[in-house]
Structures are given as structure tokens and as C-alpha cells.
């Protein structure tokens, strides 16, 4: 899930140099004690990435005012002939002079009069190759080894028989933007839901009217859930076969409080978290991913010498960290949205999650100094999302199936051999059966 600077997959996919190569038989994939046979008659499948899980491109207009001579003259280092350039992920952000340039262009701005979020003036952005998985495979195709995102998963799906553009599709989006509660404008996020709905209908039509399987990662699960809950159940029943949600932060993540308080680079060297913090705070989707009070309750999440904060204290938290401009959109747009968390009607859901990975649970700041890193108390989760959030949807509907894989992190779930076997096995089962039978919790050891 999440952060937009060196936190690849939202939200957002964390940059990793570990590549898990998974070879699945074209004839049979063995999962547990049973064998899943290749199903030639596949339901179309759409992949929905997490925050930071697809490429973004940008272009500057004459309205753009660079924050420095370096940004105006040297960044980006490479542009296309038509002026577009790779905004996410561009490795030059690792260089200190360019980090600020990147953060300025990546930032969003909330306009209280218009009640919506917008790009920095003079910065145009676009999401390349909607409908295709191409921008989900690697966040930078020139750096495949370190920016792989869904390549291993896509390879495994293709070995199962899926074909790009025929039965396999991708739904990349501008992950900086989120959604808002009913009655509030949300141009970018709402447009993505409209485009996703159209893609679902087109994929179904081109496959003889078969229902579509949605496979989401991280923040993508929240968008998929909102799509199902905002459309009539009759539409969902007609077009959706199943939702398979990987590492979905249904109730947000404690890690987001660290991002808002101190900035977050997940330990990647060279980048100052205080430089990227304003950009991360500006993200509408990061605000959406703060801990949901309906899920976290009054549990103590952050403490200082003066007070403690629970998920019910987010307004005070935003004010005390010096981000008062986030209070209005949080109170009016985000809080009413997350308080209505509910499982979809009629549509079966499988949550595949990791556990047993140290995950931030309590942050402790000395002297209330949020510019310094906190002492962290860890609990269970996938390293990014807490267990209470990963299981939040099942707590609302016990018929939801959960496959819990020990030792798999938030992002490695897309590459780990055991995790891929479980994902492909579940998709095979969905394709092989007319209906889904709930199995409750399934724990997969290593």
C-alpha cells in the first residue's frame, strides 16, 4: 500500500531486490493436499494495483513555477519528445537535489471552495495504458530488478491460461487521489470508478458475458469495495464473479500515522523523510488510509509526553503535527466515508493476507517532537497493515473467506512462491465452480 516516495505499493509496493521466480505447471497446480487443474474456460480477470503500484507520467505547462533553479533546468533528466516524462517511479528522486523537485510535482492541493483535490498548478499527469497490465509489471521498466511489482503474478496467471488483452486486464490509476463521502465532488477518483466499471462491462462482453474476477492489491481493494457498494447489487451480480483482495487495508493502517507525523521512506537511504513529508501529507489516498475508528476503536496508537491518540482523535492528531489543512477534508470527506465500511452484498470475497511480520502498532514521540523518528512498538500484521485491519471485512461478514499466509509481507505477497500458489489456486477454484463456498479462516504455514 501506500507512500509515494520510495514506498512503492500504496496505498501504496515497497522497492525490493528480492525476486521470487515461480514456475507453475500448465497442467496442474498443487495447493495443500488437493490439485487444481488448468481451467481452459476462464472468467476474465482484472488486476487493480495498490498505491504506488503503477506508473505515472507528467508534463509541465507554462503555468508551472519551479521551486528552484535545479528543478527548472535539470529535472527531469529524461523527457519524451512531446514533453511527457516518468513521474513515478523515477530513480533520480534518490538524488537529494531532485527529491524536492519530485515532491513538489507529486503533491496534491485541496481547494476548500471547490471541495476537491487538484495537481500542482502547471503539472499535468496521466496514467499510461489503462486496461493493460503493462504499467503494473514494473514501476520503471529500465530497473526491472528493483521495481518489479506484479510481473510474477501476471506470469503465473499467464501460465494458468490467461491472455493479456483477451482475458487478462489491468486497471492502473492515479493513486494519489482517493474517494470521498457521498455529496462531495471527487473528480479523479470517481472517474476511475467509472472507467473501471466500463472496463468490467467490456471484459465481460468480449468473453461471452462471463462475470469478471477482480484481483486487487492493498489500496486497490478499497476502490474495488467502493465500486461494488456504490452500484446496484443487480449490476454486481451480473458482472462480478468474485473479489480476491490481497493485503487489503480495510480499516487503514497504523503506518500512515508515522507517514503523516514524520514522513516515511521505509529505511531507503539518501532520502530525507522531512523533505517528502509534505507531499505524503498532501495525498488524498493517504488521508483515506489513516486508521478507521470503526476498526481500531479507542486503542492507543500514538503517544507523546503530553497525551495519547486513538483513531477517534485524528482531528487533534492532524492539528498537533502541524497539518491543520488536512482537518477539513478529513472531517467532511474521509470520516463519513470510512465509517460506512461494509462488506459487499451478493458478491463473494476472498481475502489473502500475510501475517507474522512485525508491524507498527504504537508510536511513541519524546517531547512531542514529530520531526524525530518515534520509538515503535510492533504487533502482528503484514509489516504495513495491522491484523485488525486486514481482518476488518470478515469481522463484518463471517462468510468471507480468509487465507492467512505466515511470514508474507504486504508486498512480497505478489512474489512469494507460497503466496502465488495460494493466489493462483484460489483463482483456479473460482473458475472451476459455479458458486463460492465460504471456508472461514485458512492458515498457510511455511
List Cα–Cα distances, 230 to 20, 227, 328, 343, 413, in angstroms.
37, 5, 24, 12, 28
156 is annotated as an active-site residue: no
Q: Is residue 345 within 8 Å of 233, Cβ to Cβ? A: yes
Q: Is residue 259 within 8 Å of 283, Cβ to Cβ? A: no
Helix axes 417-432, 151-160, angle to 10 degrees: 40
The C-alpha cell 484460489 sits at 426
CA 324 to chain centre: 25
11 is annotated as an active-site residue: no
Annotated catalytic residue within 382, 389, 409, 416:
382
- d(Cα 178, Cα 160) in Å, to the nearest integer? 33
For residue 273, give the nearest of 5, 16, 2, 1 by alpha carbon: 5
174 is annotated as an active-site residue: no
Annotated catalytic residue within 218, 247, 285, 428:
218
Annotated catalytic residue within 156, 410, 412, 436:
410
SS3 for the chain is CCCCCCCCCCCCCCCCCCCCCCCCCCCEEEECCEEEECCCCCCCEEEECCCCCCCEEEEECCCCCCCCHHHHHCCCCCCCCCCCEEEECCHHHHCHHHHHHHHHHHCEEEECCCCEEEECCCEEEECCCCECCHHHHECCHHHHHHHECCHHHHHHHHHHCCCECCCEEECCCCCCCCCCCCCCCCHHHHHHHHHHHHHHHHHHHCCCCCCEEEEEECHHHHHHHHHHHHCCHHHHHHHEEEEEEECCCCCCCCHHHHHHHHCCCCCCCCCCHHHHHHHHHHCHHHHHCCCCHHHHCCCCCEECCCCEECHHHHHHHHHHCCCHHHHHHHHHHHHHHHCCCCCCCCCCEEEEEEECECEEEEEECHHHCCCCCCEEEEECEECCCEHHHHCHHHHHCCCCEEEEEECCCCCHHHCCHHHHHHHHHHHHHHHHCCCCCCCCEEEECC
Q: Which residues are catalytic?
A: 218, 382, 410
Amino acid at each position: 500500500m501506500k507512500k509515494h516516495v520510495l514506498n512503492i505499493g500504496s496505498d501504496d509496493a515497497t522497492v525490493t531486490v528480492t525476486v521470487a521466480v515461480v514456475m507453475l505447471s500448465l497442467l496442474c497446480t498443487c495447493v495443500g493436499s488437493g490439485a487444481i487443474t488448468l481451467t481452459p474456460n476462464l472468467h476474465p480477470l482484472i488486476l487493480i494495483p495498490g498505491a504506488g503500484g503503477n506508473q505515472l507520467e507528467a508534463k509541465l505547462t507554462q503555468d508551472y513555477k519551479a521551486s528552484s533553479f535545479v528543478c527548472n533546468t535539470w529535472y527531469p533528466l529524461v523527457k519524451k519528445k512531446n514533453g511527457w516524462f516518468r513521474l513515478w517511479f523515477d530513480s533520480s528522486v534518490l538524488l537529494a537535489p531532485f527529491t524536492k523537485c519530485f515532491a513538489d510535482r507529486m503533491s496534491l492541493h485541496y481547494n476548500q471552495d471547490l471541495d476537491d483535490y487538484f495537481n500542482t498548478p502547471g503539472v499535468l499527469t496521466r496514467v499510461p495504458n489503462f486496461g493493460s497490465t503493462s504499467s503494473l509489471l514494473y514501476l520503471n521498466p529500465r530497473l526491472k530488478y528493483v521495481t518489479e511489482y506484479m510481473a510474477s503474478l501476471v506470469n503465473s496467471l499467464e501460465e494458468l491460461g490467461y491472455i493479456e488483452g483477451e482475458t487478462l486486464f489491468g486497471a492502473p490509476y492515479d493513486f494519489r487521489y482517493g474517494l470521498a463521502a457521498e455529496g462531495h465532488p471527487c473528480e479523479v477518483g470517481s472517474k476511475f470508478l467509472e472507467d473501471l466499471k466500463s472496463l468490467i462491462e467490456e471484459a465481460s462482453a468480449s468473453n461471452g458475458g462471463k462475470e469478471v474476477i477482480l484481483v486487487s492489491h492493498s489500496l486497490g481493494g478499497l476502490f474495488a469495495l467502493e465500486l461494488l457498494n456504490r452500484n446496484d447489487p443487480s449490476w454486481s451480480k451480473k458482472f462480478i464473479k468474485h473479489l480476491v483482495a490481497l493485503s487489503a487495508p480495510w480499516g487503514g493502517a497504523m503506518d500512515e500515522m508515522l507517514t503523516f507525523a514524520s514522513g516515511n521512506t521505509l529505511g531507503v537511504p539518501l532520502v530525507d523523510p522531512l523533505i517528502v513529508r509534505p507531499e505524503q501529507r498532501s495525498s488524498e489516498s493517504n488521508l483515506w488510509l489513516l486508521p478507521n475508528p470503526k476498526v481500531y476503536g479507542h486503542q492507543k496508537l500514538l503517544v507523546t509526553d503530553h497525551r495519547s491518540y486513538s483513531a477517534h482523535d485524528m482531528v487533534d492528531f492532524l492539528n498537533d503535527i502541524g497539518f491543520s489543512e488536512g482537518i477539513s477534508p478529513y472531517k467532511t470527506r474521509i470520516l463519513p466515508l470510512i465509517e460506512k465500511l461494509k462488506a459487499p452484498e451478493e458478491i463473494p470475497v476472498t481475502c489473502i493476507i500475510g501475517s507474522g511480520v512485525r508491524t507498527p502498532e504504537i508510536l511513541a514521540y519524546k517531547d512531542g517532537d514529530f520531526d524525530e523518528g518515534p520509538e515503535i512498538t510492533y504487533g502482528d500484521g503484514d509489516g504495513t497493515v495491522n491484523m485488525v485491519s486486514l481482518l476488518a471485512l470478515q469481522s463484518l461478514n463471517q462468510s468471507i473467506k480468509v487465507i492467512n499466509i505466515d511470514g508474507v509481507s504486504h508486498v512480497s505477497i505478489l512474489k512469494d512462491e507460497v503466496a502465488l500458489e495460494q493466489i493462483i489456486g484460489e483463482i483456479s477454484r473460482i473458475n472451476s465452480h459455479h458458486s463460492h463456498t465460504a471456508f472461514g479462516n485458512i492458515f498457510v504455514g511455511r
